[in-house]
Structure 1
Amino acid sequence: MRRLIAAFLMAALVSTSSTLAQDAPPAAAPQLTMDQAKTVMAKVVDGFIRPGYRRFAASSATLTDSMLHLCSSPSEDELNAARHAFETAALDWGQIEIVRVGPVIDEARFERILFYPDRKGTGLRQVQALLAKPDDIVTTPDGLSTKSVAMQGLGALEFLLYGTDAETLSTQPNGFRCRYALAVAGNMQRVATELARLWDEPDGVQNDWKNPGRESASFYDAGEAITELLGILVHAAETVRDQRIETFYKGENGKTFPRQALFWRSDLTFPMLAANLKGIRMLLDTSDIEELLKPDQQPIVASIDADLDALLHVVSTVNPEVEIAVAQPEQRQKLDALLQTSRDLILRLNDKLGGGLGLGAGFSFSDGD
């Protein structure tokens, strides 16, 4: 099997071999200066985080509008338009989702946008219970926001748009299911808009991130700021492996759980994985973090980019239906390749890049060190 995986990856990894050879072992890193940290963090905030939340706020507003049209004038075309708007909003979230720090973790904002993984099926049971016994309190954003986070966000909305009896949305004007879905979209839009506003406030979190030091509420010094950035990258790569793949596929000899995959009903499982990978690449490239490395260690970033290229190539070739992807041998080889390369990506970010930035051998964000 390992030979099959290696053969499959050959085309995707053709540009990787030269960069792997150039990976330098962790060596004494240059001392980070405050000016360097401020420059990098300004690029992170202004080039990635703020545009990412603005983009998601805009697509979630479009989603709310699409749901409003669907409820008031149901038709097959309006349902398709709402599903397209859902896809756009979900993938926009997939890119900025990798930032699991800052205001998004306050007031359960992250979970209100996406409650996942949900291994016990809490969200599905709660949504199905509401559909079986409607409660109009969830048909307004204010009312819905008082309920369980599992009944809110993209996960709930995916079932409403694609799950059992979703076709009724195209025929029933202002039915409970549609009004509930509209409230989910509106509540999510409100959270997204709030996140964009919080990051846009000049004297708020963006100022703390751009100006590490004693006056910052986020980072005491340059090292803390760059460690946060690296932590975002490492944790994002771990999420790709742990939550986007291993929730439904454990490896060639493991059991498969296709219906535990994120967004399996809408065939967005692998597009969401790709969105996460694109977010990692965008953050890596936008931050210019390689400028903090010594010249002989800067190829580390090129090798990380090569891993991302390989992963994105493989993801683009996987069957979008998860049940098919885990059942067919040639598809499973691709999933094995994703697992193998995602592990390489984590190690390269954590050990190689972390070492080049001055984090000692054995440092692990996973362990909370």
Structure 2
Amino acid sequence: MTRPSLSRLLAPALALSLALPLTLTPATAQAGVVEEALEQHILPGFETLAQEAQQLSATAAKVCDPGSVQLQQAYGEAFDAWVAVSHLRFGPTERDNRAFALAFWPDSRGKTPKALRALITAEDPIAKDAAAYTSVSIAARGFYALEFLLYDTDMQQQGSADYRCQLTRAIAEDIATTADVIWTDWRDSYADKIRHPGDRYRSEAEVKQELFKALNTGLQILIDMRLGRPLGTYDRPRPKRAEAYRSGRSQHHVILALEALAPLARILSDGDADLTAKLDGAFDTAIKHAKRLDDPTFAGVAEPGTRLRIEAVQQDIRKLRETIGEDLGPALGVEAGFNALDGD
């Protein structure tokens, strides 16, 4: 039986959230922004990531043929789960470079294929030791490294099939281990730091600042990276810089990220009916336009008509980010501040 994709699971929930009346139940109202963000967004998201990553590892242990529909589906489900929480780049995700271990992108210098080829050429035995594999170059770990093994025809010609199989299993297991430790840290310790400020966060206001920053970061990633990188310039479009184009997921990631960010924005609106309606409308417009692109890999950035539609989605998200900065930030009493994409 084919399992439904995470995006299909998210879509009905998102549509329902946009259609529901804005009146909060007593339990929800009492819970507050922070508790609601934890219980409805953060913890379920990372639990799903851990579960889907474990399923990916289990599937790879049974079948490692890159052409396997079962393996590709498990990969897609786990990758979906990561994209849905990829904006939450603080706490357990940030520790020990775990986010980069799951998703080393953008890779402007081509480090991932170089690192993989080096392992394959040498038939490095580290691929047989899951614990030791965490010490390899971070470029040879995570979803983008696995994408090369499953979808890149050139990589599939490198070395022996047996070693590539072992490497596929090692990367899948490493993804599962990393996802599980992130989820465990959230569940067992970091959630309490969010609920009870005083250590990592000095006040609830600082927690709200962190959540607002995560929302802002997610939108910035969409504008500058998921859309901006393949768009390049009009004279020099860069379709091969699109995220996960080898697996045909570039457009899908934009839609999925928007569908994941919309509920967080609604939570942060904290029951403000006018603000919630304004943000809902802006997200709905961006999602609708993103779905209409019909360009899975953003190859159309070099074609004027398609490029214009992709730029329109980027502009939708820019306007959305402006609304969040001008309306949601002041309502929360916070500013965007630095985010996970900024330097020290």
What is the TM-score normalised by the length of structure 1? Answer: 0.78
Cα deviation, residue 130, structure 1? 2.3
Q: 1:269 aligns with which of 237, 244, 250?
A: 250
Cα deviation, residue 351, structure 1? 1.7
Matched, 1:196 2:161: no
Separation (CA, whole Å) in 2 of partners of 1:234 and 1:323: 23
Instruction: Report what 1:238 is aligned to.
Output: 220
1:1-369 → structure 2 map (5 Å cutoff): 39-71=32-64, 74=65, 76=67, 79-165=68-154, 175-201=162-188, 204-212=189-197, 216-250=198-232, 253-285=234-266, 287=267, 289-291=268-270, 293=272, 298-322=273-297, 324-359=299-334, 363-366=335-338
Cα deviation, residue 254, structure 1? 4.7
Deviations 1:105-162 (A, max 9, x none): 0011111100111111111221123233321212332121011111000010000000
Q: Judge which range, 325-334 or 81-90, deviates more.
A: 325-334
Cα deviation, residue 275, structure 1? 1.7
Report the secondary structure of 1:96's partner residue.
coil
Separation (CA, whole Å) in 1 of partners of 2:152 and 2:187: 36
Q: From the CA coordinates, give the structure whose radius of gyration is larger.
A: 1
Report the secondary structure of 2:32's partner residue.
helix
Q: Point out where structure 2 has 5 or more consecutive residues left out of the alignment.
A: 1-28
Q: CA 1:142/1:357 → structure 2, altered by over 3 Å: closer, same or farther?
A: same
Separation (CA, whole Å) in 2 of partners of 1:193 and 1:364: 29
Cα deviation, residue 60, structure 1? 0.8
Q: Which one-letter code corresponds to 1:162 in the other structure?
A: Y
Q: Judge which range, 122-131 or 186-195, deviates more.
A: 122-131
Identical amino acids, percent of aligned pairs: 22
Separation (CA, whole Å) in 2 of partners of 1:332 and 1:50: 37
Q: Which one-letter code corresponds to 1:190 in the other structure?
A: T
- Of structures 1 and 2, the one scoring higher in RCO (CA 8 A, sep 6+) is 1
Instruction: Report what 2:23 is aligned to.
Output: none
Separation (CA, whole Å) in 2 of partners of 1:108 and 1:217: 21
Separation (CA, whole Å) in 2 of partners of 1:256 and 1:321: 16
Cα deviation, residue 366, structure 1? 5.0
Report the secondary structure of 1:244's partner residue.
helix
Report the secondary structure of 1:217's partner residue.
coil
Report the secondary structure of 2:94's partner residue.
helix
Is the 2:213–2:338 Cα contact (8 Å) retained in structure 1? Answer: no
Is the 1:112–1:149 Cα contact (8 Å) retained in structure 2? Answer: yes
Deviations 1:202-244 (A, max 9, x none): xx211110123xxx22221232121111111111111111111
Report the secondary structure of 2:270's partner residue.
helix
Is the 1:103–1:198 Cα contact (8 Å) retained in structure 2? Answer: yes
Instruction: Report what 1:3 is aligned to.
Output: none
Separation (CA, whole Å) in 1 of partners of 2:48 and 2:199: 26
Is the 1:59–1:89 Cα contact (8 Å) retained in structure 2? Answer: yes
Deviations 1:56-110 (A, max 9, x none): 1111111112211213xx595xx11111111111111100111011111001111
Separation (CA, whole Å) in 1 of partners of 2:153 and 2:326: 45
Separation (CA, whole Å) in 2 of partners of 1:332 and 1:247: 13
Q: Which one-letter code corresponds to 2:196 in the other structure?
A: N
Report the secondary structure of 1:326's partner residue.
helix
Separation (CA, whole Å) in 1 of partners of 2:66 and 2:94: 37
Report the secondary structure of 1:365's partner residue.
coil
Q: Point out where structure 1 has 5 or more consecutive residues left out of the alignment.
A: 1-35
Q: CA 1:163/1:328 → structure 2, altered by over 3 Å: closer, same or farther?
A: same
Is the 2:117–2:155 Cα contact (8 Å) retained in structure 1? Answer: no
Separation (CA, whole Å) in 2 of partners of 1:43 and 1:124: 41
Moved over 3 A (4+): 165-169
Number of paired residues? 312
RMSD after superposition: 2.4
Separation (CA, whole Å) in 1 of partners of 2:298 and 2:261: 27
Is the 2:50–2:183 Cα contact (8 Å) retained in structure 1? Answer: yes
Deviations 1:5-62 (A, max 9, x none): xxxxxxxxxxxxxxxxxxxxxxxxxxxxxxx897211111121111111101111111
Cα deviation, residue 291, structure 1? 2.7
Q: Which one-letter code corresponds to 1:365 in the other structure?
A: G
Q: Judge which range, 179-188 or 298-307, deviates more.
A: 298-307
